Amino acid sequence: MNNTGTEQAILEVRGLHTIYQTDDGVVKAVNGVDFSINERETVGLVGETGAGKTTLALSIMRLLPERTGRIPEGEIIYKGENLLKADKEYMRRIRGANISMIFQDPMNALNPIMSVGDQILESLVIHNEEKRSGEELNKRVDELLELVGISAGRKHEYPHQFSGGMKQRIVIAIALACNPKLIIADEPTTALDVTIQAQVLALINDLQQKLGTSMIMITHDLGIVGKTCDKVAIMYAGEIIEFGTAEDVFNGEKHHPYTVGLFGAIPSLTSEAKRLKPIDGLMPDPTALPEGCKFHPRCPHCTEECKTGEPYLYQKGEAYIKCNLFREEK
Amino acid sequence: MDTLVKGDKLRKYFQVGPKSLLHAVDDVDVDIPRGTTLGVVGESGCGKSTLARVVLGLIPKTGGKLYFDGRDLDTLNKKEKAEYRRQMQIIFQDPYSSLDPRMSVYESIAEPLDMNHIFSKKAEKLDYIMELMERVGLAERFVNAYPHEMDGGRRQRVCIARALALNPKFIVCDEPVSALDVSIQAQILNLLMDMQDSMGLTYMFITHDMSVVKHISTEIMVMYLGQCVERAPSKELFENPLHPYTQALLSAVPKPVINRMSNTEILRGEVSNPINPPVGCRFAPRCKHCTAECTQKNFELVDQGSRHSVACRLFDQA
Ligand SMILES: Nc1ncnc2c1ncn2[C@@H]1O[C@H](COP(=O)(O)OP(=O)(O)OP(=O)(O)O)[C@@H](O)[C@H]1O
Ligand SMILES: Nc1ncnc2c1ncn2[C@@H]1O[C@H](COP(=O)(O)OP(=O)(O)O)[C@@H](O)[C@H]1O
Ligand code: SF4
Ligand code: SF4
Ligand SMILES: [Mg+2]
Ligand SMILES: [Mg+2]
């Protein structure tokens, strides 16, 4: 649908490194991430706990904890501008109006003592560059609520009067309020039951069709990626180790061994096998990452060359895999 | 078959207001043959954890009968009860909050042993703890580690070792892998299955995850708003789901395949209020097959053959 090859990248991340300076040492959370996202496109950012997904999102939004988080290297280009060089005021305007974020837990994202209508209105007022009248803004609040499937008549109610799924719909309405170009959704349905998750994912798909907003969908669930994403980035220990179209990553022939392990570990609804295939070992400690390929201590294909130096970057069009297995014969 | 745990019409209501009763568990039958796993699946709030606590006698039940190894648990005296408690253990979802942060691995596993005065010699106790750690796949070097020094998978292994310490016959696993990553989840599920094979353990395995419950269970019970709506052997349930809710649950699970435009039918609405539920099928407000009859009477589980039973008008015997 979207892959005509003529699109414009709306966001480009180049060589991004993010660290947290903690008492236990320097946590290397993001270690050289490159990717871009085009207009109308959804990119799935997949990885297990601690892979650096949220840190990447917070880096793009410039919302890292001020005391500990730092970006020593890299560029984040939005509309030709490097956001890492932008001042606070510029970033404030970017957030919400251009790029908005949906967090995992709708409970924490909403203000418990403000009606949901007022919360939507608030984000409209902050970014009211067109100086729309109060009446216009209120109409927009109603529109947004209806858009996410909540009757506008409930705008005077407070968050606790809504179920988890409905709260997440309201969070989505707030994220959409100013017609952003890009939405970063960090595990938007992880806290929800599967039948409610299905409703929210359908809503997200539907809104994308209608509005054409680009989206970075952060998740640990490859099933959600399959339902919502055009492209997929698999993250491990702060790096994107495989990137490609959904077709490449789900059905392609070449894969990073971690991607293979990740798909293999999912219990299947259709297979008869009882025993599961875990990936041996654990995520590396982000304060003491292994040399060479960061997956090498867990990789069944690890050879001597994997233990030192950067792994080979295999590229095919936009798609890439960082692994020595794909080093072409000389 | 040789039943280890049996519950008849187990019921737990919570008084939440002067005239408000929250029906957390409503007349649920449980029957777990020795050495097998009963999977209990359903969405949050459907009563899974409450059922677990009732079965373990951790909270008083509002009604029903409970038998363990053929004995009616209500007829036991205090001493006998303590003995039965040792044979039933529980593993919780959150390996973070179920371990005391100030206790090392050694101390956590030793606690139930000390409380029951199992070992008088320190060396024997240490040997036994080491043996338990080996059984659950925890390297010896962690014996003095504290919870914050370990990842979620290892913490869950500590909880499992602790649950095994008193040599139980029956373990309730309440969402034991829900907080873990898939690669670690697979390690823990394999461990639980291996333990069952080698020690003949009986499990009640609670989860909201349809694919996890399929892998681990011998039989599966699907719960909705405090009631069991369908029960069948694992394979049978997945090949032939009958209750409209079970079908909806199965189709809602995102499968790891490209499925962009799929028009999987989406279940509308939300779970209704568990306080003073009206008569009739509790799934009715969300069910596309609902007719007037569905809201006028209650439907009991009806046997459909192959140990498969379902509570729904569509399968109610004429
Ligand atoms: N404020 C912080 N201070 C120090 N370290 C942090 C902080 N936030 C995250 N980290 C560390 O950075 C690494 C990446 O964390 P991040 O939260 O980005 O991962 P994630 O992929 O979003 O994981 P999850 O799936 O658990 O949400 C982890 O090792 C984490 O412990
Ligand atoms: N101590 C309690 N007091 C009142 N209501 C409770 C209590 N414990 C659980 N409930 C209610 O009982 C129902 C079942 O809860 P629970 O057994 O925890 O469900 P599950 O484990 O399936 O998510 C829910 O509606 C819950 O809010
Ligand atoms: S580079 Fe080597 S260790 Fe890393 S994933 Fe590839 S084969 Fe495995
Ligand atoms: S009893 Fe009626 S409402 Fe309930 S599941 Fe069956 S058909 Fe649907
Ligand atoms: Mg995160
Ligand atoms: Mg529970």
Cβ neighbours of A165 in B, within 8 Å: 270
Chain B interface includes A145 (CB < 8 A): no
What is the distance in A from the centroid of ligand 2 to the CA of B178? 18
Ligand 3 within 6 A of CB of A306:
yes
> Which pLDDT value is given to residue B208?
93
Who among B154, B215, B256 is closest to A222 (CB)? B256
Domains: count for chain A: 2
Determine the average pLDDT of the residues in A278-287: 89
Q: Where are the alpha helices (DSSP H) in chain B?
A: 48-55, 78-87, 105-115, 122-135, 152-164, 182-199, 210-216, 234-239, 244-252
Rounded to an integer, what distance in angstroms lies between the CA atom of residue A23 and that of residue A45?
A: 29
pLDDT tier at A273, thresholds 50, 70, 90: confident
Cβ-defined contact of B267 to A198 (cutoff 8 Å): yes
What is the distance in A from the centroid of ligand 6 to the CA of B207? 8
pLDDT tier at B263, thresholds 50, 70, 90: low
**A233 shares a domain with A217:** yes
> Which residues 89-148 of B are in CB contact (within 8 Å) with A?
none
pLDDT of B166 strictly over 90: yes
- Ligand closest to CA A46: 1
Residue with tokens 């209501």: B13
Q: What phi, psi does A15 have (nearest 5°)?
A: 50, 40
Determine the average pLDDT of the residues in B235-252: 95
- CA A190-A191-A195 angle, to 5 degrees, is 80
| A129 is a domain residue | yes
The residue contributing the CA closest to ligand 2 atom 18 is B49
| Among candidate residues A161, A177, A193, the one where a domain is terminated | A177
**Strand pairing partners for A19?**
A28, A70
- Distance to chain A for B154, nearest Cα, Å: 10
Cβ-defined contact of A269 to B187 (cutoff 8 Å): no
Q: Are strands A239-245 and A81-82 parallel, antiparallel or unpaired?
A: unpaired
> Which pLDDT value is given to residue A231?
97
The count of C-alpha atoms lying within 13 angstroms of the C-alpha of A271, restricted to the half-sphere facing its C-beta, is: 16
pLDDT of A12 strictly over 60: yes
Rounded to an integer, what distance in angstroms lies between the CA atom of residue A71 and that of residue A73?
A: 6
**A156 shares a domain with A14:** no
pLDDT of A1 strictly over 70: no
* Share in percent of chain A as helix, strand, coil (round to 5): 35, 25, 40
| A314 is a domain residue | yes
Nearest C-alpha neighbor of A229 from the set B318, B56, B257: B257
Q: What percent of chain B has pLDDT over 90?
A: 83
| Among candidate residues A177, A207, A230, the one where a domain is terminated | A177
Which protein residues have their CB within 5 A of the ion that is ligand 5?
A: A 54
Domain ranges of chain B: 3-87+168-315, 96-167
Rounded to an integer, what distance in angstroms lies between the CA atom of residue A70 and that of residue A83?
A: 14
State the CATH number of the domain containing residue A325.
Answer: 3.40.50.300
pLDDT of B291 strictly over 80: yes
What is the distance in A from the centroid of ligand 5 to the CA of A184? 12
- Distance to chain B for A32, nearest Cα, Å: 23
pLDDT tier at A300, thresholds 50, 70, 90: very high
| A312 is a domain residue | yes
> Which pLDDT value is given to residue B243?
98
> Which pLDDT value is given to residue A7?
65
Question: The complex's ipTM?
Answer: 0.89
Cβ-defined contact of B43 to A223 (cutoff 8 Å): no
Helix (H, G, I), strand (E, B) or coil at B120: coil
Cβ-defined contact of B185 to A193 (cutoff 8 Å): no
| Among candidate residues A125, A154, A177, the one where a domain is terminated | A177
Q: What percent of chain A has pLDDT over 90?
A: 75
Cβ neighbours of A222 in B, within 8 Å: 256
> Which pLDDT value is given to residue A4?
45
> Which pLDDT value is given to residue B11?
98
Contact B283, B224 (CB under 8 A): yes
**A94 shares a domain with A200:** yes
Residue with tokens 């690669």: B183
- Ligand closest to CA B247: 4
Nearest C-alpha neighbor of A53 from the set A228, A221, A297, A264: A221
**A37 shares a domain with A154:** no
- Distance to chain B for A262, nearest Cα, Å: 7
| A1 is a domain residue | no
| A79 is a domain residue | yes
Of ligand 1's listed atoms, the one at least distance from the Cα of A187 is 27
**A66 shares a domain with A209:** yes
pLDDT of A121 strictly over 90: yes
**A56 shares a domain with A111:** no
Cβ neighbours of B272 in A, within 8 Å: none
Rounded to an integer, what distance in angstroms lies between the CA atom of residue B71 and that of residue B4?
A: 10
> Which pLDDT value is given to residue B180?
87
Count contacts between A and B (CB, < 8 Å). 123
pLDDT of A30 strictly over 50: yes
Predicted confidence (pLDDT) per residue in A217-265, tens digit: 999 999 999 999 999 999 999 999 999 999 999 999 999 999 999 999 9
**A321 shares a domain with A280:** yes
Closest-approach residue (CA) in chain A for B261: A227
pLDDT tier at B1, thresholds 50, 70, 90: low
- Distance to chain B for A42, nearest Cα, Å: 11
Determine the average pLDDT of the residues in B130-143: 92
**A167 shares a domain with A198:** no
Predicted confidence (pLDDT) per residue in A104-120, tens digit: 777 778 999 999 999 99
> Which pLDDT value is given to residue A187?
92
Average pLDDT, chain B: 93
Predicted confidence (pLDDT) per residue in A173-201, tens digit: 999 998 999 999 999 998 889 998 999 99
| A254 is a domain residue | yes
**A262 shares a domain with A135:** no
Q: Are strands B20-33 and B3-17 parallel, antiparallel or unpaired?
A: antiparallel
Average pLDDT, chain A: 92
> Which residues 239-278 of B are in CB contact (within 8 Å) with A?
248-250, 252-260, 262, 264, 266-268, 270-271
Cβ neighbours of B259 in A, within 8 Å: 223, 226-227
Determine the average pLDDT of the residues in A291-320: 96
| A2 is a domain residue | no
**A290 shares a domain with A170:** no
pLDDT tier at A5, thresholds 50, 70, 90: very low
Closest-approach residue (CA) in chain A for B153: A282
Which protein residues have their CB within 5 A of the ion that is ligand 6?
A: B 49
- Distance to chain B for A250, nearest Cα, Å: 7
Of ligand 3's listed atoms, the one at least distance from the Cα of A305 is 2
For ligand 1, pick from A16, A19, A21, A27 the residue to mutate: most ligand atoms within 8 Å of CB: A27
| A4 is a domain residue | no
Chain A interface includes B7 (CB < 8 A): no
The region, left, alpha or beta by phi > 0 then psi within -120 to 50, assigned to residue A256 is: beta
pLDDT of B86 strictly over 70: yes
> Which pLDDT value is given to residue B42?
94
Closest-approach residue (CA) in chain A for B185: A278
Who among A220, A276, A279 is closest to B215 (CB)? A276
Cβ-defined contact of A276 to B190 (cutoff 8 Å): yes
Determine the average pLDDT of the residues in B240-267: 88
Helix (H, G, I), strand (E, B) or coil at A181: coil
CATH class of the domain at B3-87+168-315: alpha beta
Instruction: Give me the domain span that covers residue A163.
Output: 107-177
Q: What percent of chain B has pLDDT over 70?
A: 98
Q: Mutating which of A215, A269, A283, A299 best tests the B interface, going by the most B Cβ atoms within 10 A?
A: A269
Rounded to an integer, what distance in angstroms lies between the CA atom of residue A203 and that of residue A224?
A: 13
Neighbours of A290 (CB within 10 A): 15
**Maximum mean pLDDT: which of A197-201, B110-114, B134-138:** B110-114
Ligand 3 within 6 A of CB of A307:
no
